[in-house]
């Protein structure tokens, strides 16, 4: 199959309504390869990734550091130079660039990356203030969005007056302000302590329940991946590739005691085995 | 030993240290210690000049300096006002031009590469050498003085602001890209606010620099201002008057510096200070 750089995969059966239920695929990667540099100095970061994410699914990507999991996420977000991305990559039938213009995606990073000169509320409003083009009216005000993430009463605080967990909640509220169809999360809880992180897992599921977003989550925590996801994509490095695809067939809503069940431990074991087999 | 049940023993209470109040005299002394040091230095200066019988044209005693000022305060204050005006204009020009150039340099690597050699040439060329040239071009007006002041103040502003505009968190820019923000929004809403603390730290060097530049311009070609008066009185060997003028120049530089520090606290309160 010939590879076309950055080409969108259009839905062949029903291209008229790419957002409708006739096209259940939300994010689709086919034979995704990412190569940085050219000639002798070229580095193959990721090779041959296939992934399908359906609407309202949570899919995690786990792997050792340096396996290219964040790079895949950045490719989906359209943050990589076009020349480095090969294969097919579509978000609701559009290229990452088009999807970005249409405001289909937003992202939460490992660090909250808030503007220190803006209050929590003003930080949450920022994406809407700068977005170009037609956007649907926001379903929630910044204040309501902050209330959803559990920060009622903190609207006027500056980032330096918030704890690490609270800052990450502001960052999540800011991402949700765009009403994304796809929420990309790059190790969002990696900088938090374990107690706060456990709390954020249940919080994320609660908040996600109120949205229409699919989530693609990059993490190096197996527990986090299993607890949150419908599917877990396990990657290995040199070059970055998929070594296992695990489905977590546990009904929602999930509570934190799910982490203590034998099913949970079994799935964790399978992922750990896949990770250790391809060091 | 294992933990004893809570009921057996009374709970341990922390001891609150008693309040230790220093006497008012000690606190007053502590608060005014830097002023006391200056006063002490003046007393020693006065004493040494009187005891060693140093002639006034060599080193005037503090009392002689005060006498020189009170003899014609009008003259000195007019000079101070002229220099203040020139410094403010030079500083303002440096801010406007410096920020503009810094934005261009932060936006385009090519512009930065092309502009840096020229900026460096102007930077290393002594202002003392440029000033006579400026007087030939613009005459004995205020313009050469403003240019001298601007030239000294502008470099820290360009360098720091360009640094502030480019040292933005990459992921914050990525967030803006995903929100489909334009380049102008990124500049006005992210880069410029991010550069504000850098702008104010450059002021700490640039503001006193603007005063020095204005004095230098007046020194070389002017008929008013502290710099001009220094040339007049040093030619007359009126050392006491020169001391008055030098002290007024110091005062002006210190005021410029402190106004900038004060403005910084009000305008960029988010800047974290770690000691």
Report if residue B261 sits inside a domain: yes
Identify the bridge partners of residue A49 per DSSP, sorted by sequence position. Answer: A32
B119 shares its domain with B68? yes
B47 shares its domain with B82? no
Tokens at A252, concatenated: 């929602």
Minimal C-alpha gap between B180 and chain A (Å): 5
Own/partner contacts of B168-171, CB < 8 Å, gap of 24 or more, are B168/B194, B169/A111, B169/A113, B171/A109, B171/A111, B171/A113
HSE toward the beta carbon, residue A101, CA cutoff 13 A: 5
What residues of chain B, 242 to 271, have a C-beta less than 8 Å from chain A? 268, 270
Q: Least CB-CB distance to B169: which of A103, A113, A129?
A: A113
- Counting as low any pLDDT under 50, the low residues of chain B are none
pLDDT at A258: 87
Q: Least CB-CB distance to B174: which of A107, A129, A178?
A: A107
Are B175 and A133 an interchain contact pair (Cβ–Cβ within 8 Å)? no
Quote the CA–CA distance of A132 and B271 in Å, as a whole number.
Answer: 30
- Counting as low any pLDDT under 50, the low residues of chain A are 1-22
B110 shares its domain with B243? yes
pLDDT at B245: 94
B102-138 pLDDT, tens digit per residue, is: 999 998 889 999 998 998 888 888 888 888 888 889 9
B231 shares its domain with B185? yes
Residues A33 and A87 sit within 8 Å (Cβ to Cβ): yes
Q: Least CB-CB distance to A113: which of B171, B196, B268?
A: B171
Minimal C-alpha gap between B224 and chain A (Å): 44
Minimal C-alpha gap between A57 and chain B (Å): 21
HSE toward the beta carbon, residue B86, CA cutoff 13 A: 34
Q: Is B115 on the interface with A (CB under 8 A)?
A: no
Residue with tokens 């456990």: A198
pLDDT at B132: 86
pLDDT at A10: 41
B78 shares its domain with B174? yes
Chain-centroid distance of CA B195 in Å reads 18
Q: For residue A104, what are the contacts with CB-CB under 8 A and spacing of at least 6?
A: A91, A92, A94, A180, A181, A182
Q: For residue A29, what are the contacts with CB-CB under 8 A and spacing of at least 6?
A: A49, A50, A51, A52, A72, A76, A87, A88, A89
Quote the CA–CA distance of B274 and B258 in Å, as a whole number.
Answer: 20
Q: Least CB-CB distance to A106: which of B178, B181, B272?
A: B178
Are A130 and B177 an interchain contact pair (Cβ–Cβ within 8 Å)? no
pLDDT at A5: 42
Report if residue B273 sits inside a domain: no
Measured CA to CA in angstroms, residue A120 lies from A130, A144, A163 at distances of: 16, 12, 12
Q: Is B189 on the interface with A (CB under 8 A)?
A: yes
Report if residue B3 sits inside a domain: no
Quote the CA–CA distance of B113 and B116 in Å, as a whole number.
Answer: 6
Are A113 and B189 an interchain contact pair (Cβ–Cβ within 8 Å)? no
pLDDT at A2: 42
Are A111 and B178 an interchain contact pair (Cβ–Cβ within 8 Å)? no
Q: Is B171 on the interface with A (CB under 8 A)?
A: yes
Give the 3-state secondary structure of residue A173. helix
B163 shares its domain with B200? yes
Q: Least CB-CB distance to A131: which of B172, B181, B190?
A: B181
Beta strands A105-108 and A182-186 are parallel
Give the 3-state secondary structure of residue A141. coil
B50 shares its domain with B68? no
Nearest by Cα to A36 from A27, A25, A47, A28: A47
Mutate to test the interface with B, among A117, A119, A127, A174 (most CBs of B within 10 A): A117
Measured CA to CA in angstroms, residue A99 lies from A103, A162, A164, B68, B167 at distances of: 6, 32, 30, 76, 28
B169 shares its domain with B136? yes
Tokens at A240, concatenated: 């970055």
Chain A interface, Cβ < 8 Å to B: 77-79, 100-101, 103, 105-107, 109, 111, 113, 115-117, 126-133, 158-160, 174, 178
pLDDT at A8: 42
H or E stretch including A135? none
Contacts of B177 in chain A (CB under 8 A): 78-79, 100
A104-128 pLDDT, tens digit per residue, is: 999 999 999 999 999 999 999 999 9
B156 shares its domain with B33? no
Q: Least CB-CB distance to B172: which of A78, A115, A160?
A: A115
Minimal C-alpha gap between B111 and chain A (Å): 23
Q: Least CB-CB distance to B193: which of A105, A117, A158?
A: A117
Report if residue B232 sits inside a domain: yes
B208 shares its domain with B96? yes
B174 shares its domain with B153? yes
Report if residue B212 sits inside a domain: yes
Backbone phi, then psi, for A121, in 5-degree steps?
A: -65, -45
Output DSSP code: residue A79.
Answer: -
Report if residue B224 sits inside a domain: yes
Report if residue B9 sits inside a domain: no
Q: With 0-12 CB in 10 A as exposed, 13-18 as middle and 19+ as buried, what is A61?
A: buried
Tokens at B106, concatenated: 């932060």
Domains, chain A, ranges and CATH? 55-78+92-277 (3.40.50.300)
pLDDT at B7: 62
Mutate to test the interface with B, among A73, A104, A126 (most CBs of B within 10 A): A126
Are A131 and B190 an interchain contact pair (Cβ–Cβ within 8 Å)? no
Region at A3 (left for phi over 0; alpha for psi -120 to 50; beta for the rest): beta
Report if residue B8 sits inside a domain: no
Which structural domain, as residue segments, surrounds residue B124? 61-267
What is the number of domains present in chain B? 2
Output DSSP code: residue A23.
Answer: -
Q: Which residue of B has its CA nearest to A158?
A: B270
pLDDT at A15: 40
pLDDT at A19: 45
Quote the CA–CA distance of A9 and A278 in Å, as a whole number.
Answer: 31
B36 shares its domain with B99? no
Which CATH number goes with the domain that contains B246? 1.10.3720.10
């Amino acid at each position: 199959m010939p590879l076309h750089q950055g080409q969108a995969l259009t839905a062949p059966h029903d291209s008229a309504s790419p957002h409708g239920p006739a096209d259940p695929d939300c994010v689709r990667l086919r034979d995704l390869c990412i190569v940085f540099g050219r000639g002798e100095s070229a580095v193959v970061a990721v090779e041959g990734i296939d992934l399908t994410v359906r609407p309202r699914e949570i899919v995690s990507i786990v792997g050792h550091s340096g396996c290219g999991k964040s790079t895949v996420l950045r490719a989906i977000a359209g943050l990589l130079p076009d020349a480095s991305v090969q294969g097919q990559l579509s978000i609701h039938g559009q290229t990452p660039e088009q999807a970005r213009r249409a405001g289909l995606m937003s992202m939460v990073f490992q660090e909250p990356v808030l503007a220190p000169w803006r209050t929590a509320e003003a930080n949450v409003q920022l994406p809407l203030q700068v977005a170009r083009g037609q956007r649907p009216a926001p379903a929630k005000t910044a204040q309501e969005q902050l209330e959803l993430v559990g920060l009622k009463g903190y609207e006027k605080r500056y980032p330096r007056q918030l704890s690490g967990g609270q800052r990450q909640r502001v960052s999540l509220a800011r991402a949700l302000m765009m009403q994304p169809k796809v929420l990309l999360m790059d190790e969002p809880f990696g900088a938090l302590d374990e107690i706060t992180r456990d709390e954020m897992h249940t919080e994320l599921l609660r908040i996600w329940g109120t949205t229409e977003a699919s989530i693609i989550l990059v993490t190096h925590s197996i527990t986090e991946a299993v607890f949150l996801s419908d599917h877990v994509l396990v990657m290995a490095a040199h070059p970055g590739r998929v070594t296992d695809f695990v489905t977590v067939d546990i009904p929602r809503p999930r509570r934190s005691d799910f982490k203590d069940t034998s099913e949970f431990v079994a799935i964790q074991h399978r992922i750990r085995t896949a990770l250790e087999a391809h060091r | 030993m294992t933990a004893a049940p809570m009921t057996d023993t009374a709970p341990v209470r922390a001891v609150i240290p008693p309040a230790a109040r220093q006497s008012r005299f000690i606190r007053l002394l502590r608060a005014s210690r830097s002023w006391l040091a200056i006063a002490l230095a003046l007393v020693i200066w006065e004493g040494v000049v009187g005891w060693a019988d140093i002639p006034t044209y060599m080193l005037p005693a503090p009392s002689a300096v005060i006498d020189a000022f009170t003899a014609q305060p009008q003259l000195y204050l007019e000079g101070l006002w002229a220099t203040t005006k020139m410094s403010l204009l030079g500083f303002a020009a440096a801010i406007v031009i410096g920020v503009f150039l810094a934005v261009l340099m932060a936006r385009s690597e090519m512009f930065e590469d092309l502009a840096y050699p020229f900026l460096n040439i102007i930077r290393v060329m002594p202002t003392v050498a440029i000033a006579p040239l400026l007087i030939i071009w613009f005459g004995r007006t205020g313009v050469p003085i403003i240019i001298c002041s601007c030239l000294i103040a502008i470099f820290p502003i360009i360098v720091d602001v360009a640094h502030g505009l480019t040292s933005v968190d990459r992921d914050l820019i990525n967030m803006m890209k995903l929100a489909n923000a334009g380049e102008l929004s990124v500049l006005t809403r992210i880069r410029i606010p991010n550069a504000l603390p850098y702008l104010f730290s450059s002021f700490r060097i640039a503001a006193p620099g603007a005063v020095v530049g204005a004095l230098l311009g007046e020194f070389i070609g002017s008929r008013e201002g502290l710099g001009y008066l220094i040339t007049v009185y040093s030619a007359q060997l009126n050392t006491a008057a020169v001391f008055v003028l030098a002290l007024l120049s110091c005062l002006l530089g210190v005021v410029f510096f402190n106004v900038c520090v004060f403005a910084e606290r009000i305008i960029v309160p988010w800047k974290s200070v770690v000691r």
